[in-house]
Amino acid sequence: MVEKEISQAVIARLPRYFRYLGELKDEGVERISSQELSRIMNVTASQIRQDFNNFGGFGQQGYGYNVEFLYTEIGKILGIDKTHQLIIVGAGNLGQALANYMNFERRGFIITGIFDINPELYGKTIRGIQVRPMEEMKDFIKENNVDIAVLTIPKSAALTVSCQLVEVGIKAIWNFAHVDLQVPPQVQVENVHLSDSLMRLSYMINRFESGKK
Amino acid sequence: MVEKEISQAVIARLPRYFRYLGELKDEGVERISSQELSRIMNVTASQIRQDFNNFGGFGQQGYGYNVEFLYTEIGKILGIDKTHQLIIVGAGNLGQALANYMNFERRGFIITGIFDINPELYGKTIRGIQVRPMEEMKDFIKENNVDIAVLTIPKSAALTVSCQLVEVGIKAIWNFAHVDLQVPPQVQVENVHLSDSLMRLSYMINRFESGKK
DNA sequence: TAGATTGTTAATCGATTAACAATC
DNA sequence: TAGATTGTTAATCGATTAACAATC
């Protein structure tokens, strides 16, 4: 069977479905129809059914979708049922903030190491995790089966570090550095370009003001 | 003249153009063709020309685009030529990290206030800016012409705070809380849902591994 | 059985790419 | 002038929405 390719648009929507279903589950809602969900989430019922059907039939005619089942299934699709070992590269403000953000662990993303080039930080612990020198990073990844590297370093350092990560076979990079990384296709990259996001907001303010005046 | 609506897809690409043009400018490149830019940025030349033409003709036949001019024009479209006053609501790890991230000021986003509910933080200064109690937020916004509020608070507090912001006429919310805010259309919202981003990365790892095995 | 709601096909809409005349 | 490259129209592709038969 040829697996049909899932579009980026669908993938981008999955975490949002997951979040709403989690909330419904917590509220004790047992079943939900695409129409009801569409009302809550502000999307069309048609889109919801199309999206879910990319992964097979999760619903039942005349009944709707079982919330708990659907939640679990989407979790599996997102790979949230597995745990991931991750390291934080760059123990600056953002790196420390992410390390301190507990909620990722709840989803199975375990921070196993933090690395920095600044010797003053070596040995400092953040949420019980020691900051290590960059030189140890490659060996650490190999020895601890790290799948994900979080890049919270300046753009000037990002290229060098990403090459090192690729060399030791990292599976994925969560990139907060403001550059587009060039990595081979077996390495997954998700960019979080905060300044791009802020500029989009600036654009929206600008556009609204010049449009309404 | 009826202004044609610019699609979200185009807007999302603008900051990336801006970044690449800034780099070309810094390298001293004077002019660039859509074809050359397409090679560098990994998009089609056709898309580049279509995108730019949404805002009027920035180029010249037979010549291409003047890098400096194009950079400035896209900056104007993004509203980067104006300064914005912003406050950070929630002085936790993420709030502090963003406050310390200098680069936003370079783009004209000036942090004028930081607010928190935790009395222990009152008076503490982050990059020279005092943390103030939440009760003072509304007056502060009015008195200091704050346009943007950065929400780095838990989702449980986000609804209440967003209502307060709307009441005093905030223009835009940069939302890091993991909820979809409901605000009137004159308030612009840009979401940064970090856990959604991490889940997409998890999905990509998952899909790659099951696809290749 | 009758009503409800899915899964899925068909229709529409919008975004991307291709092509080329206009023009620097 | 000849060559290059835009601005723009037309063609293609993909994603969203509508519709409805299948079925619980």
pLDDT 10s digits, B42-81: 999 999 999 999 998 899 999 999 999 999 999 999 999 9
How much is the pLDDT for B211? 75
Residues 187-206, chain B, touching A (beta carbon < 8 A):
188, 190, 192-206
Distance, angstroms, CA B187 to C1' D6? 37
Nearest by CB: A15 against B82, B192, B196: B196
Architecture of the domain spanning B84-196: 3-Layer(aba) Sandwich (3.40)
CB pair distance less than 8 Å for A203 and B171: no
Distance, angstroms, CA B7 to C1' C13? 13
Confidence of residue A2 (pLDDT cuts 50, 70, 90): very low
Sheet strand arrangement including A31-32: A31-32, A64-66, A59-60
pTM over 0.85: yes
What backbone torsions phi and psi does residue A148 show, to the nearest 5 degrees?
A: -120, 135
pLDDT at B213 over 50: no
Residue ranges of the domains in chain A?
A: 8-78, 84-196
pLDDT 10s digits, B162-175: 999 999 999 999 99
Tokens of A61: 């005619």
Name the minimum distance, in Å, from the CA of B45 to any CA of chain A: 19
Q: In the predicted model, what is the mean pLDDT of residues A121-127? A: 94
* Strand (E) or helix (H) holding A77: helix A67-78
Q: Are A16 and A41 in contact (CB under 8 A)?
A: yes
Q: Are A109 and B198 in contact (CB under 8 A)?
A: yes
Confidence of residue B5 (pLDDT cuts 50, 70, 90): confident
pLDDT at A54 over 90: yes
Sequential DSSP letters for B96-142: HHHHH-THHHHTTEEEEEEEES-GGGTT-EETTEEEEEGGGHHHHHH
Chain B partners within 8 Å of A15 (Cβ): 193, 195-196, 199-200
Which residue has better confidence, A106 or B141? B141
Q: What rounded mean pLDDT belongs to chain A?
A: 95
Distance, angstroms, CA A47 to C1' D18? 11
Confidence of residue A103 (pLDDT cuts 50, 70, 90): confident
Q: In the predicted model, what is the mean pLDDT of residues A81-106? A: 93
Cα(A21)–Cα(A52) distance, integer angstroms: 13
Q: Are B179 and B189 in contact (CB under 8 A)?
A: no
Cβ atoms within 10 Å of B164's Cβ, excluding its own: 15
Cα(B111)–Cα(B192) distance, integer angstroms: 18
Residues 93-112, chain B, touching A (beta carbon < 8 A):
93-94, 96-98, 100-101, 103-104, 107, 109
Assigned CATH topology for domain A8-78: Arc Repressor Mutant, subunit A (1.10.10)
* Strand (E) or helix (H) holding A47: helix A45-53
Cα(A44)–Cα(A35) distance, integer angstroms: 8
DSSP H stretches of helix in chain B = 8-26, 34-41, 45-53, 67-78, 93-100, 103-106, 137-144, 155-167, 194-211
Cβ atoms within 10 Å of B120's Cβ, excluding its own: 8
User: Which residue has the least CA–C1' distance to nucleotide D19?
Assistant: A46
Cα(B25)–Cα(B70) distance, integer angstroms: 10
